[in-house]
A and B are shown apart, each in its own frame.
Chain A
């Protein structure tokens, strides 16, 4: 059965009591603690009342003092959608658990995030750069500067 945002929120609270719920006008959004993340994702996909089987998009945001991983998940059976977030505080060596064993498409989206943000995904089967050379730097980081090829305002 399709769950509305309120009932979805109650269900999520039973799964991860520590989760916080930022305001989002469109979908239910939740920030999950780093340690429980992988197990929680597995629950999202396999629980018979949730069945989040389709990962629409996976990306990261650089908030200067931390990174935020953003996962847009939807269920092809029930059509409910959730926005999942994980905060990464370590700026020097950012890393997070991979979800490519749960949603296969994540393998390539994670490679893209690794390429452009330099976030490492633990237990990823094939973490190589996707678009750029190995020595290029990580262009979507806010502190990236390449004065020879970029217009810096």
Chain B
């Protein structure tokens, strides 16, 4: 009897071994806790616990005016700050039926793509670092710095610039904006192939990413996994193609789709998206029309009573802004359908049966930003 109990404890067969990964774990990139049930080294179950950085952004928005609200969504997904700002602006502009100057639309699309590249660069370097390749971190941050410099020159801040207002921008772009972008594209076209040489074809990285955490297309749709993570499984979910906003209907680019659905597929989608983003930038950068940087807007905005819905594609997937207005100067209810919230919960399904070290690779490949989950 005694011997049997001892044997069971050693084999760990009678109960699960539970490990808390987070809330302060380097590979979760923020305060998120995974409650991982293990059998030996194999994962039986992952339960995500969120709420460590819940700030009640939706409740705060009910208090603020529309011009003030712009400053809150960029605190959700801080790596797609501009795109989040734009989503709210587009929704407010749609409700007010404002004609935004062409110049604004062009610059917004350019900033979207710069933001997407910067976000994917940071994802790439963090993903490599999570899996033990420290050099990627220096390469990624080195190149991301060039984009942040462009942002800093025009808007004064680097990460969350709150440069958008309903109707346009706070002020015009810096005269050197286009030249800087062209310099960046020339520079990054040389550097991006290095990413492949360093990490994509690395034997250790391939072993740890191919056929790990496979997500089927049906599951991607069922769980609402969008963005590069969904497209890695063949779920065509690019809002830039489905419901084009900005000038996306006028530029040529491909929606990157892969069918494998593993960590490697999601990785390759993001690398390919950086090439596509540069292609969009090349088409737009010389064609920014002259004109005003903002439409004429009233000092206090009051949206007509009704419900307005705007979908945009952030670097991580589909962000939807849903504004319910009762005709007052602040929204009656605002809902942010954030991409990371939906992307997170697939992780229990993906990690099941894999080893604990694979969980790091899987959560890295989903590219989670935690403040966007909790909001």
Contact = CB atoms under 8 A, between A and B. Distances in A.
Interface of A: 24-27, 29, 53-57, 59, 61-62, 70, 72, 76, 79, 83, 103-105, 107-109, 112, 116, 130-132, 139-140, 151, 153
Given A76-B235, A79-B242, A55 B322 contact: no
B224 A55 contact: yes
Contact of A72 (B63, B237, B306, B322): B322
Contact of A27 (B309, B324, B342): B309
A57 B335 contact: yes
Contacts of B332: 61
A104 to B, nearest CB: 4
Given A56-B320, A61-B333, A130-B50, 14 more contacts: A53-B222, A54-B237, A56-B311, A56-B337, A61-B324, A72-B320, A79-B242, A83-B309, A105-B222, A105-B223, A105-B345, A108-B341, A109-B341, A139-B59
A25 B59 CA distance: 26
Interface string B324-349: 10000000110101000110110000
A54 B59 contact: no
B320 A57 contact: yes
Main secondary structure of the interface of B (DSSP, over half): mixed
10 contacts: A53-B222, A59-B335, A62-B333, A79-B242, A83-B307, A104-B222, A107-B345, A108-B341, A108-B342, A139-B59
A138 B255 CA distance: 41
A70 to B, nearest CB: 7
Contacts of A24: 306-307
A88 B214 CA distance: 39
B51 interface: yes
A70 B222 CA distance: 18
A57 B322 contact: yes
A104 B223 contact: yes
Interface of B: 50-51, 54, 56, 58-59, 63, 219, 221-224, 235-237, 242, 306-309, 311, 318, 320, 322, 324, 332-333, 335, 337, 341-342, 344-345, 374
Contacts of B58: 116, 140
A131 B54 contact: yes
Contact of A105 (B237, B311, B322, B342): B342
Given A131-B50, A139-B59, A56 B235 contact: no
A60 to B, nearest CB: 8
Contact of A59 (B50, B221, B237, B322): B322
Contacts of A130: 50-51
Nearest to B326: A63
B34 to A, nearest CB: 15
Nearest to B308: A26
- The 6 A-B residue pairs whose C-beta atoms are closest, nearest first, are A131-B51, A105-B224, A57-B337, A131-B54, A104-B222, A59-B335
Most buried by A among B221, B306, B324, B335: B335
Contacts of A104: 219, 222-223
B39 to A, nearest CB: 21
Contacts of B341: 108-109, 112
Contacts of A116: 58
B99 to A, nearest CB: 16
Contacts of B59: 139-140
A148 B224 CA distance: 37
B345 A108 contact: yes
Given A107-B345, A131-B50, A76 B236 contact: yes
